[in-house]
A and B are shown apart, each in its own frame.
Chain A
Amino acid sequence: QVQLVQSGAEVKKPGASVKVSCKTSGYTFTAYYMHWVRQAPGQGLECMGWINPNSGGTNYAQKFQGRVTMTRDTSISTAYMELSRLTSDDTAVYYCARDPNDYGDYFDFWGQGTLVTVSS
């Protein structure tokens, strides 16, 4: 069965960076794009961008360009999202989400979420 298992909760100070992992199993990792979506406390869903695990190609939402880096390690079927220069506004649950990429972009499987708290 398809599984996306994310790394654990993080507490970071303003100005620091955080790297979240998303380990996949149950499907061919390189066959599906991986998106990252975040959700601030009590708020809605916000797309941060995606990575093509096959090529390593990425596309980042304009809001996060220059601060986010998405990478992957195909040998262990894992995707990563690193966000730098954190502020309190980056406190959120971060999700990885698989994209079947067969009719536009939609997300059929999600990780369990990783809470990132930014606090001094």
Chain B
Amino acid sequence: DIQMTQSPSSLSASVGDRVTITCRASQSISNYLNWYQQKPGKAPKLLIYAASSLQSGVPSRFSGSGSGTDFILTISSLQPEDFATYYCQQSYTISITFGQGTRLEIK
């Protein structure tokens, strides 16, 4: 299976900050990379698909970039509702795998 490694595992930031989360694949996955946000007790929510396509209804402060093995999720200006856990997910192979998650906390 392709291993997905996110960094950092946790992050403290303030409202208004620009934040980046990195996801690295153990082999090239082209741009078959998606990002989700999960809040406690809730199902994950799709933010970005195909590495850089913004899901309908998701605020434009979220953006994604990258291809091959290295990907970035950027939140341009943190809002209070953005404090959550973020996961990347690859679908290059039939064995879909997620990163371990990045917990974004309020500083």
Q: Which residue of B lies closest to A100 (CB)?
A: B49
Known: A45-B44, A47-B96, A112-B43. A103 touches B101 (CB 8 A): no
Q: Is B46 an interface residue (CB 8 A)?
A: yes
Which of chain A's residues have a CB closer than 8 A to the CB of B55? 108
Q: Looking at the complex, which one of B46, B92, B97, B101 makes contact with A107 (CB distance below 8 Å)? A: B46
B49 lies within 8 A of A47 (CB) = no
With both chains docked as a complex, state the minimum distance between the C-beta of A74 and any C-beta of chain B, in angstroms.
24
A106 lies within 8 A of B46 (CB) = yes
Quick one: CB contact mask for A87-120 with B, threshold 8 Å, 1 for yes? 0000000010100000111111011110000000
Quick one: CB contact mask for A10-39 with B, threshold 8 Å, 1 for yes? 000000000000000000000000010000
Q: Which residue of B lies closest to A103 (CB)?
A: B50
- The secondary-structure label for the interface of chain B is loop
Q: Which residue of B lies closest to A112 (CB)?
A: B43
With both chains docked as a complex, state the minimum distance between the C-beta of A48 and any C-beta of chain B, in angstroms.
10
Q: Which residue of B lies closest to A93 (CB)?
A: B43
Which of chain A's residues have a CB closer than 8 A to the CB of B62? none
Which of chain A's residues have a CB closer than 8 A to the CB of B34? 104, 106-107
B50 lies within 8 A of A104 (CB) = yes
Which of chain B's residues have a CB closer than 8 A to the CB of A45? 36, 44, 87, 89, 98, 101
Most buried by A among B50, B87, B96: B96
- Residues of B with Cβ closer than 8 Å to A? 32, 34, 36, 43-46, 49-50, 53, 55, 87, 89, 91-92, 94-101
- Residues of A with Cβ closer than 8 Å to B? 35, 44-47, 59, 61-62, 95, 97, 103-108, 110-113
